[in-house]
Amino acid sequence: MAEKRIGIGADHAGFELKRTLFEDLAQRGYAVVDFGTQAAESVDYPDFAHALSKAVAARELPLGILICGTGVGMSMSANRHHGVRAVVCSEPLSARMARKHNDANVLCLGARVIGVDTARDIIETFLSSEFEGGRHARRVGKIDI
């Protein structure tokens, strides 16, 4: 079986949730690449979003998870990278559909919006859902300009 790899990154608002989710993913057998931050002191979210997104865009990692206060800033920064399709999710249905229909490869979470259990449910759904291709592939192909 191929090694399951994923990147994770957060700013100060997402630091504690990132630590918890990092451990969860490692326990599930993922090789987790930590893009920081490593402390709860104030930092700039784009720095972490760009670092993780570069790795996903270069196909060094198949998927990534970014966490900030709302997930919005991380998503906006990540989506600046060609080939990255970042989505903010606050519940599992959006995560499922983003993977199945939009081939999302970066999941953004809001640590101030959702709790740990909801984050776990969203991640489980995101990771267990696969892109359906077909008519959706044509649409995804029109995203990058």
Please pick, among 81, 89, 101, 108, the residue that the annotation labels catalytic: 101
DSSP per residue, 16-84: HHHHHHHHHHHHTTEEEEE----SSS---HHHHHHHHHHHHHTTSSS-EEEEESSSHHHHHHHTTSTT-
Measured CA to CA, the distance from residue 136 to residue 61 in angstroms comes to 22
Q: Is 68 a catalytic residue?
A: yes
| CB of 119 closer than 8 Å to CB of 21 | yes
| CB of 106 closer than 8 Å to CB of 85 | yes
Q: Is 101 a catalytic residue?
A: yes
Please pick, among 50, 68, 81, 108, the residue that the annotation labels catalytic: 68
User: What is the set of active-site residues?
Assistant: 68, 101
